[in-house]
C-alpha cells in the first residue's frame, strides 16, 4: 500500500468518524457536519469571498515574507561577522523571537492604524528573528579557510563577500530558516488579520464567528492547513532536499 493510499484511507476514516460524531452527539451548529462544511466551501467559492480572502492573505504574506528574508539574512550576516553587534543586538533578538507576534499588534495599530501595514508589520516581525538566527548559524559555520581563499582570490569587499561566498556557503541553513520563517509568518498573518480590516482569511474567521457560521470557520481552518502543507511539502521541503543533495549533506540529514 502506497503512502498516498494510506493517507487517503485515513482521511476517509476521519470523515466517517466526524459524520458519526455529528449524528450521534448532536453537535448542531456548534460544530458542522462534513456535508455542511462542503456546502460552505461551495458557497464561499461560488460567491467569491473565500477566493478573495485567500488572494488578500497571500498578497500580505508574500510581501511580509520577502521583507523578513532580506532583513533576517542581513541581520544574520551582521551577527556572524561583527562580534560586538552579535553580543548586543543579537542577544536582544534571541529574547525578541520568544515574543509572540500578536503581542506587537497594539503597537502596530497605534503606529500604522487598522490597515494592511499593521498586518504586514507583525507578520514580518514574526519571521525576521527566526530567519536572522538561521542565517547567523549558517554563516558562522562556514570554514574560515574558505573565506580566506575567497579573499585571496580578490573577494575582499564586504557586500561582494556576502553574496558571492557567504550566502551560497550558508545555503543549507538558510533554506531551513526560510522554511521555518514561512511557518511563523503564516501563523502571525492569521493572528493579525483576526482584528484587522478588509479581506483576508483571518478577517473571514472573525466575521464568521460574529454570526455563528461555524461551517465557514472550519473551511478557513482547512484552507490554512492545506495551503501551509502544500507550500511546505511541494516547495520548501523539496528545495531543502535538493540543496542537501547538492551540498552532499543528505546522508548526514538522514
Quick one: average pLDDT of 77-98?
86
pLDDT of residue 140: 85
Answer yes or no: is pLDDT of 232 > 70: yes
* Stated pTM of the model: 0.81
Answer yes or no: is pLDDT of 217 > 90: yes
Q: 125-156 pLDDT, tens per residue? A: 888 988 898 888 888 887 777 777 777 776 66
CB 124 within 8 A of CB 68: yes
Per residue, what are the HEC states of the chain? CCHHHHHHHHHHHHHHHHHHHHHHHCCHHHCCCHHHHHHHHHHHHHHCHHHHHHHHHHHHHHHHHHHHHHHHHHHHHHHHHCHHHHHHHHHHHHHHCCCCHHHHHHHHHHHHCCCHHHHHHHHHHHHHHHHHHHHHHHHHCCCHHHHHHHHHCCCCCHHHHHHHHHHHHCHHHHHHHHHHHHHHHHHHHHHHHHCCCCCCHHHHHHHHHHCCCHHHHHHHHHHHHHHHHHHHHHHHHHHHHHHHHHCCCHHHHC
Query: CA-CA distances (angstroms) from residue 141 to 16, 169, 245?
Result: 50, 9, 18
Report the residue count for the chain: 254
Closest to 170 measured CA to CA, from 193, 194, 143, 188: 143
Q: 35-78 pLDDT, tens per residue? A: 999 999 999 999 888 999 999 999 999 999 999 999 998 898 88
pLDDT of residue 62: 93
CA 156 to chain centre: 35
pLDDT of residue 7: 87
pLDDT of residue 52: 92
pLDDT of residue 158: 67
CB 220 within 8 A of CB 229: no
- 122 φ, ψ to 5°? -75, -25
Answer yes or no: is pLDDT of 106 > 70: yes
Task: Please tell me the distance from the alpha carbon of residue 84 to that of residue 69, in angstroms, as a whole number.
Answer: 23
pLDDT of residue 243: 75
End-to-end CA distance of the chain: 23
* Residue that has been written with the C-alpha cell 462534513 in this structure: 34
pLDDT of residue 16: 92
Answer yes or no: is pLDDT of 248 > 70: no
List CB contacts of 15: < 8 A, sequence separation 6 or more: 34
Answer yes or no: is pLDDT of 25 > 90: no
Q: 162-184 pLDDT, tens per residue? A: 777 777 777 777 888 888 888 88
Q: What percent of the chain has pLDDT over 70?
A: 94
Amino acid at each position: 500500500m502506497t503512502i498516498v493510499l494510506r493517507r487517503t484511507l485515513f482521511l476517509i476514516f476521519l470523515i466517517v468518524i466526524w459524520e458519526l460524531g455529528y449524528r450521534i452527539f448532536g453537535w448542531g451548529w456548534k460544530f458542522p457536519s462534513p456535508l455542511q462544511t462542503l456546502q460552505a466551501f461551495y458557497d464561499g467559492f461560488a460567491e467569491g469571498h473565500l477566493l478573495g480572502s485567500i488572494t488578500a492573505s497571500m498578497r500580505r504574506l508574500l510581501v511580509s515574507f520577502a521583507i523578513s528574508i532580506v532583513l533576517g539574512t542581513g541581520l544574520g550576516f551582521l551577527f556572524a561577522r561583527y562580534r560586538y553587534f552579535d553580543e548586543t543586538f543579537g542577544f536582544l533578538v534571541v529574547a525578541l523571537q520568544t515574543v509572540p507576534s500578536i503581542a506587537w499588534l497594539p503597537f502596530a495599530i497605534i503606529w500604522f492604524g487598522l490597515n494592511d501595514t499593521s498586518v504586514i508589520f507583525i507578520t514580518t516581525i514574526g519571521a525576521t528573528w527566526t530567519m536572522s538566527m538561521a542565517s547567523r548559524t549558517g554563516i558562522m559555520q562556514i570554514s574560515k579557510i574558505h573565506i580566506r581563499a575567497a579573499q585571496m582570490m580578490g573577494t575582499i569587499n564586504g557586500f561582494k563577500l556576502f553574496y558571492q561566498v557567504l550566502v551560497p556557503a550558508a545555503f543549507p541553513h538558510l533554506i531551513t530558516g526560510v522554511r521555518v520563517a514561512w511557518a511563523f509568518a503564516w501563523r502571525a498573518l492569521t493572528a493579525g488579520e483576526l482584528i484587522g480590516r478588509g479581506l483576508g482569511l483571518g478577517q473571514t474567521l472573525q466575521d464568521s464567528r460574529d454570526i455563528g457560521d461555524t461551517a465557514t470557520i472550519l473551511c478557513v481552518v482547512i484552507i490554512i492547513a492545506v495551503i501551509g502543507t502544500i507550500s511546505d511539502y511541494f516547495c520548501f521541503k523539496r528545495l531543502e532536499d535538493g540543496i542537501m543533495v547538492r551540498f552532499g549533506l543528505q546522508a548526514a540529514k538522514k
